[in-house]
């Protein structure tokens, strides 16, 4: 069932993105989504669209899938690795808040 979930989640992510956006599996059950030239507000909207699409997935078993998101923005002159740490912290906060929600990294 794990493979089915990963495939379905991947499909919903790809279906929710623009052609310029990039999605990649980042860890066991984590994905990294890059949305170039996107404001933090619009990135939150993308995350919410994907969260709803994942929540609506129907599986061959009675389990529900949820998704938690950490959202951030990389500004000119900022360090990518530091921004990713902040986004990871935001993701942790989303999971801690009960999952199936979005948290924005502090800039």
Residues marked as catalytic: 29
Q: Can you name the residues that pair with 23 across neighbouring β-strands?
A: 33
Please give the helix or strand (H or E) that residue 31 lies within, else none.
Answer: strand 31-34
Type and span of the H or E element at 40: helix 40-55
Say how far apart CA 68 and CA 11 lie, in whole Å.
Answer: 17
Per the CB < 8 A criterion, the answer to whether 59 and 65 are in contact is: yes
DSSP state of 104: E
């Amino acid at each position: 069932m794990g493979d089915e979930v990963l495939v379905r989640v991947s499909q919903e992510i790809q279906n929710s993105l623009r052609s310029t956006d990039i999605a990649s599996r980042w860890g066991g059950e984590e994905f990294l989504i890059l949305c170039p030239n996107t404001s933090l507000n619009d990135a939150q909207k993308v995350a919410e669209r994907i969260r709803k699409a994942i929540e609506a997935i129907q599986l061959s078993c009675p389990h529900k899938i949820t998704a938690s998101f950490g959202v951030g923005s990389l500004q000119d002159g900022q360090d990518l690795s530091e921004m990713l740490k902040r986004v990871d912290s935001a993701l942790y906060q989303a999971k801690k808040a009960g999952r199936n929600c979005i948290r924005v990294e502090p800039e």
